[in-house]
Amino acid sequence: MAIYNLKINGKTQEIDVAPDTPVLWVLRDHAKLTGTKYGCGIGQCGACTIHIDGTAMRSCSLPVSSVGDKAITTIEGLSEAGDHPLQEAWVEHDVPQCGYCQAGQIMNAASLLKNNPSPSDADIDAAMNGNICRCGTYLRIKSAIKTASQKMG
Amino acid sequence: MTLIKTKHNRRSFLKVSSLAGGGMVLGFSWLAGCKPEGTAEAVEAIIMPDNWYDVNAFLKIGNNGVVTIMSPNPEIGQNVKTAMPMIVAEELDVDWKNVIVEQAGLNTESFSRQLAGGSQSIRQGWKSLRMAGATARRMLMEAAAKEWEVDVAELTTASGVITHEGSGRSIGYGEIASSAAGIEVPEEVELKDPKDFKIIGVPTKNVDGKKIATGQPLFGLDYQQEGMLIAMIEHPPAFGMTLKSMDAEAAKAMPGIVDIFTIDTYPEDVEKQWSDTSAFSELVAIVGNTTWEVLKAKKALKLEWEGKDAIENTSTIDQELEKRLLAAADDPARSRKDGDPEAAFRDAAQVIERTYSGPFLAHNTMEPMNFFAHVTADHAELVGPIQTPEFMRKTAAARLGLPEEKVSIMMTRMGGGFGRRLYGHFGIEAAAISQKINAPVKLIYTREDDMTQGTYRPTYKVTYRAALDADNNLIGFHVKGTGAPESPVFNNRFPAGTVDNYLAENNSRESNISTGAWRAPRSNFIAFAEQSFLDEVAEAAGKDPIDFRLGLFDRAISDPVGDSNDYDPERYAGVLKLVKEKAGWGQDKPGVHRGVSAYFCHNSYVAQVVDVVMEGDKPKIEKVWCAVDCGIVVNPEGALNQIEGGIVDGIGHALYSNMTFKDGKPEQNNFDKYRLIRHSEAPKEIEVFFVENGVDPTGLGEPSLPPVAAALANALARATGERLYSQPFVGTQQVLG
């Protein structure tokens, strides 16, 4: 075990875990932030997507020892009041069905829009291809990203 | 105006009481005794409650006018948690913005009949939900009439306010709710004329949308309790195997590990319910403080397994199923024969014969199986994602040696169902583990555990034969199905009833690879086979594929063959005509290849046209045109989402997904090996058109999925010149990359 002072959603938390513990389980089991989801554990589905210093990462495959003092942002910390343009667009387009993958989709999309504020359809496909939605809400996700992009632009 | 009775066999569907602090509570049966007409699809409804009158839902009207509807139906993403309360609110005549929807648990005697399956929630709930809303409205009106000493017939309602025009008086529901609690439940109430609907038919957002978008803990995997431990299981690596020996010493000594032991989930003296499908009763349980610690110990276990039963290979199963297609039907009672099919084929000018196959498929809900259990000496608390809580309670009570009333089940939102969460062995496993270690525990399946555990979509094969006369009329039709463990054939579905000489027969094969309902059971495969075949028959007959099908429906409308046909040919033809018109069928666009398909299942009719362009050897789906007849559309927003999702799901599984077995062992165990459709592979556009006919609503969780694989296959046949006979299309056949 080792002690890590992690910056999670703007607050520093002291967490005592084994160095190889994936950030996903640190968030879910230790920080009690369950918005970040477990889907596959091997970085194939994107349900566990978080931001490390603003960039989308798969938290299931990211050992806590590699984070250092970088800022971790989860779906709970994406916006203060749950009103990030993407979150609002997700509600407006009624995107979710089961909803399980959507936090990962939103976090991945937020990283995309940060780097590319006006993505084309092909840009969205390329950036979002690692995020599986088993319910098949891909078209709505694309529409919601475009709406958020316009609002942010 | 329709009148509806609130009693059946002298038992009321409704109970009323006052609300502490002021207001009224109306208890009612969510799926009350208004069993839909026709029982042909009873099996697909999975299971019908045997007591239809139990109160299992509540409508509360607070003295502030806020309406709370407790929805007892498990939410698996089919959006019934929004649509069903909309129906109640409509008849109650309140504004949707003043309605709060809460999920009820299976933790009192009152909530006792709950399930989700077979796209049946809306269809079965329609009348009882309307009745509940209408009854509450009537009682509020009667209370107001009493207070004002006027005739109740002189009162009107709108937006939760009762008005007496004659005297100009009005009162809000909240203000009169406490008095209404003292009114006797009327024996008969009036329902609205559908043309007066204000909520039904209005696109309405998912009531949990914001919570989902902000990462609120809604799912089973998110559930936590103080002092809770984490458990995982290890099941045999192959179907037909059991545990031979376990060396857990090193794993037990690892940090954070509480205990490692074996459990027998279903000992012989425990009566299993139909929902207790599980290939592996004996499991190794690893219990510890945190998920990662448990995962590491799980990997460190030294386990030996041995064969106790047949060890299956996909290749062997395939060969045996092919033999069964050539053998006689296994049970003539499961066949249907009209006319003289043998003679028709003997006399035919042309016979077309084709065989289609589909693989085992995993459900792969994004949220893996999981359940929380806290079992003490005299009580068990279970919490998690389950479509059949009542059956889980029965089995849990039997397994734990507790009376049923000492087992409570709370349902969480489910990260996908697709049929998988009808089978609740994971809840029984969690309960057995909690009982053994005497602590609250959350059982979590890894993705690998989830994908290799079983309960798959069965594998299917079917052979179709069509006989055409010299004028290219369809004079004989023969379908023969097989599968492990079931045949996909529905004897009485289209094109039964459209051909004088018809034979449907089955010959299926057992397997110890466990299977279960998978979104649109059987239809999810047979629609592909049937609609691909008819496309080829139309081609052989030199006819347009839509006109050919419409010709068959004309026959079923004017002079149907047999009297047990399981569809309405006019509604079936209706969706085909609608999609033909909307898609501009017949107007060819360069480089765009079109395919059509239509299917009826789960009481709804769907027809689709798929437009494909080829980029090299990769198909790109430009657009899916979809016509749907599901009667009245309760929530167009949720309906569209379901239809779109079913289309994407159907396309994805047809193109990519495959579950294979070698020496009993699943060859795919995670998303690196099991391919699911991704963003870039989804259709660019889906446009949906509803038939407006005012018919009582039917479900939408499943019907858009089955036909799309055939529409895609038929489009791809035009694009590549090669017909597709086997799923998945990509990987098993050379024409697609």
Smallest Cβ–Cβ distance between A132 and the set B214, B671, B680 belongs to: B671
Structure tokens at B295: 């995962």
Structure tokens at B45: 């409804």
Least confident residue range of A46-55, B19-28, B131-140, B271-280: B19-28
**Residue of B212, B383, B623, B635 to mutate when probing chain A, most A C-beta within 10 A:** B212
Q: What pLDDT is recorded for position B39? A: 36
Is the pLDDT reported for residue B119 higher than 70?
Answer: no
Give B264's strand partners.
B282
Q: What pLDDT is recorded for position B7? A: 62
For residues A104-116, average pLDDT: 98
**pLDDT band (50, 70, 90) for residue B8:** low
Smallest Cβ–Cβ distance between B210 and the set A28, A91, A97 belongs to: A91
User: Which residue spans of chain A are classified as CATH 1.10.150.120?
Assistant: 85-152
Determine whether the interchain pair A32/B224 forms a contact, defined as Cβ–Cβ distance below 8 Å.
yes
Please give the class, per CATH, of domain A85-152.
Answer: mainly alpha
Q: What pLDDT is recorded for position B1? A: 62
Structure tokens at B423: 């089978």
Question: Which comes out higher in pLDDT, residue B38 or B143?
Answer: B143
**Whole-angstrom Cα distance, residue B463 to residue B454?**
27
Per-residue model confidence as pLDDT tens digits over B149-173: 999 999 999 999 999 999 999 999 9
Q: What is the chain B residue with the closest CA to A141?
A: B679
Which residues does chain B have within 8 Å of residue A119's beta carbon, measured at their own beta carbons?
none
**pLDDT band (50, 70, 90) for residue B732:** low
For residues B66-71, average pLDDT: 83
Structure tokens at B587: 């107007």
User: Above pLDDT 90, what percent of chain B?
Assistant: 76
The residues, any chain, with a CB within 8 Å of residue B19's CB and separated by 6 or more, are B25, B60, B61, B62, B63, B177, B178, B181
Is the pLDDT reported for residue B734 higher than 50?
Answer: no
For residues A145-149, average pLDDT: 98
For residues B45-70, average pLDDT: 61
For residues B487-514, average pLDDT: 97
The nearest CA of chain A is from the CA of B412 a distance in Å of 11
Per-residue model confidence as pLDDT tens digits over B246-258: 999 999 999 999 9
**Whole-angstrom Cα distance, residue B630 to residue B606?**
8
CB atoms within 10 A of CB B102: 15
**pLDDT band (50, 70, 90) for residue B104:** low
Determine whether the interchain pair B213/A34 forms a contact, defined as Cβ–Cβ distance below 8 Å.
no
Determine whether the interchain pair B671/A100 forms a contact, defined as Cβ–Cβ distance below 8 Å.
no
For residues B333-356, average pLDDT: 96
Q: CB of A105 within 8 A of CB of A141?
A: yes
Structure tokens at B63: 């003295």
**pLDDT band (50, 70, 90) for residue B733:** very low
Determine whether the interchain pair B214/A21 forms a contact, defined as Cβ–Cβ distance below 8 Å.
no
**pLDDT band (50, 70, 90) for residue B33:** very low
User: Which residue spans of chain A are classified as CATH 3.10.20.30?
Assistant: 2-77
User: How far is residue A49 from each of residues A147, B269, B665, B693, measured CA to CA in Å?
Assistant: 21, 45, 31, 45
Smallest Cβ–Cβ distance between B217 and the set A34, A82, A141 belongs to: A34
For residues A17-37, average pLDDT: 98
For residues B269-283, average pLDDT: 95
Tell whether A18 is within 8 A of chain B (Cβ). Answer: yes
Tokens 């290219």, residue?
A: B472
Q: Is the ipTM of this complex over 0.90?
A: yes
User: Above pLDDT 70, what percent of chain B?
Assistant: 91
Q: CB of B624 within 8 A of CB of B647?
A: yes
Is the pLDDT reported for residue B45 higher than 70?
Answer: no
For residues B367-386, average pLDDT: 96
Smallest Cβ–Cβ distance between B213 and the set A106, A134, A142 belongs to: A106
Determine whether the interchain pair B291/A133 forms a contact, defined as Cβ–Cβ distance below 8 Å.
no
A/B interface, count of CB pairs below 8 Å: 192
**Residue of A97, A120, A137 to mutate when probing chain B, most B C-beta within 10 A:** A97
Contact map slice: A 110-149 vs B, CB within 8 A: 121, 124-126, 128-142
Looking at every residue in chain A, the average pLDDT score rounds to 97
Tell whether A93 is within 8 A of chain B (Cβ). Answer: no
**pLDDT band (50, 70, 90) for residue B41:** very low
Looking at every residue in chain B, the average pLDDT score rounds to 90
Q: What pLDDT is recorded for position B707? A: 98
Task: Measure the N-to-C terminal CA separation of chain B; round to a whole number of Å.
Answer: 58
Q: What pLDDT is recorded for position B30? A: 52
Go through the domains of chain B in sequence order and give each one's CATH number: 2-204 (3.30.365.10), 220-309+369-444 (3.90.1170.50), 328-361+456-732 (3.30.365.10)
Q: What pLDDT is recorded for position B42? A: 33
Tell whether A5 is within 8 A of chain B (Cβ). Answer: no
Contact map slice: A 61-80 vs B, CB within 8 A: 74-76
For residues B268-277, average pLDDT: 94
- In 3D, which of B725, B519, B526, B709 has the Cα closest to residue B619? B709
Structure tokens at B159: 């937006």
Q: What pLDDT is recorded for position B72? A: 64
Smallest Cβ–Cβ distance between A98 and the set B77, B230, B677 belongs to: B77
Least confident residue range of A2-11, A111-120, A140-149, B404-413: B404-413
**CATH number at A2-77:** 3.10.20.30
Tell whether A95 is within 8 A of chain B (Cβ). Answer: yes
Determine whether the interchain pair A139/B413 forms a contact, defined as Cβ–Cβ distance below 8 Å.
no
